[in-house]
Amino acid sequence: MNTRGSIQSIQSHITSEFDTLEYVLVHRPGREIDRLTPGNKTRLLFEDIPFHKKMMSEHDAFTASLRAQGVNVVYLEDLVADIAQDPAVLKNMVHEASLAAGQPGISEVLLDHCSADQLIDILFAGLTASEFDACTKGQPVSASQEDFFILDPIPNIYFSRDPAAVINNGVVSCKAHYPARVRDMLLTRAVLRWHPLLKQNPIVYGDSPSEDRPYTIEGGDIIIINEEAIAIGCSQRTRSESIALLAKNLFTCGSTRRVYEVNIPAAREYMHLDTVFTIVAPGIVVSYSDVIDNITEIRRFEAQPGSDGVITAQPQREQRTFKQILVDEFNAPLQVINTANNDARYAAREQGSDGTNTLAIAPGRVVAYDRNIHTNQALRAYGIGVIEIEGSELVRGLGGPRCMTMPLRRNPAKNS
């Protein structure tokens, strides 16, 4: 599914959540989804086992809707296949995956016995003990109840938002909270480092051992308010210490001037800030009021140059509410669209099915799941154009249109 066409490189640039989307990175749900079982789905962060064929169809319709709006869609699996043509890069990816799984000894064995195509499949779909024997000893695969994964599949990788985020012209390479998502980050970092489409974009966080786990941060918690300010959720998956490190790096490279650390409940149903809050147009936000209206702790980081010229990120307790901060940052009245129009019968349900997790593709134009009827009605009442997609299977991993996309470039000059 090579969709890169004649694109030679993509100069990443994002200074808002709603400027016209030009390039986006996605991953089509692959064989890794078909490896979910009742025994492993919880460990692999799924509520239920999706119907894989229907899930692929829904994702294809989603990406078709993006292309119909003029968005260039780039597939992670294509980029991984491209860089895997370099034996040194392929070796690095296999080694990192084996090390992250606690199986460092198998990387050289796999490299000696498996083709590049087989290795790429293993990086996404994982490897069972019987498959390892088949690969290394030439034995037929004979799966049994006792068969187990040496390398787990990575079914969450279709949520391409979390492994990385573009802020201004730089890229944040994220670090996963749960082991089930570590390889998602590793593969995305590999294409950011080595693929000709993307490697010219500087990685401003996440490429140094000093920024490695336990300094976890995930892209769903990063929301760009404007070219001078970003909000980062301190959540179940993003640590306060990581936000401080990222803020320092962003100030040093001039990517932003203010970073707001927004504390939300450390709970699975609110795993990232973008599950309870998104921006859809200048001064217009979608908000799950049960969380956003009850935020009690916000820290603001601003740059502080030292006498030695080294910039530090100085935090201070924010006295303003989150909504007051948004009014000041937008420099305009704030319009809040509440999930399900704040109808108590539907708000929690539609937040749970990612009604708040909208993807803006231009100011006032969003992609949303069709199942979130009341939230979509509320969006339209505010004049927001809603492009609805089906997501009965896609939503089973607990993520919406924003979660499934990593925007690479937005162009404010094309706003209409």
Catalytic residues: 403
Token pair of 63 as six digits: 């990406």
Among residues 30, 31, 50, 39, the alpha carbon closest in space to that of 397 is found at: 50
Among residues 339, 403, 342, the alpha carbon closest in space to that of 376 is found at: 339
Which helix or strand (DSSP H or E) is residue 149 part of? strand 149-151
Residue pair 300/316 in contact (Cβ under 8 Å)? The answer is yes
Residue 208 C-beta-side C-alpha neighbours within 13 Å: 12
Name 326's Cβ contacts closer than 8 Å, sequence gap at least 6.
Answer: 225, 285, 334
Token pair of 205 as six digits: 């966080």
User: What gap in Å lies between CA 223 and CA 369, rounded to an integer?
Assistant: 20
Token pair of 192 as six digits: 């950011």
Mapping DSSP to helix (H, G, I), strand (E, B) and coil, where does residue 167 land? Answer: strand
User: What gap in Å lies between CA 294 and CA 267, rounded to an integer?
Assistant: 15
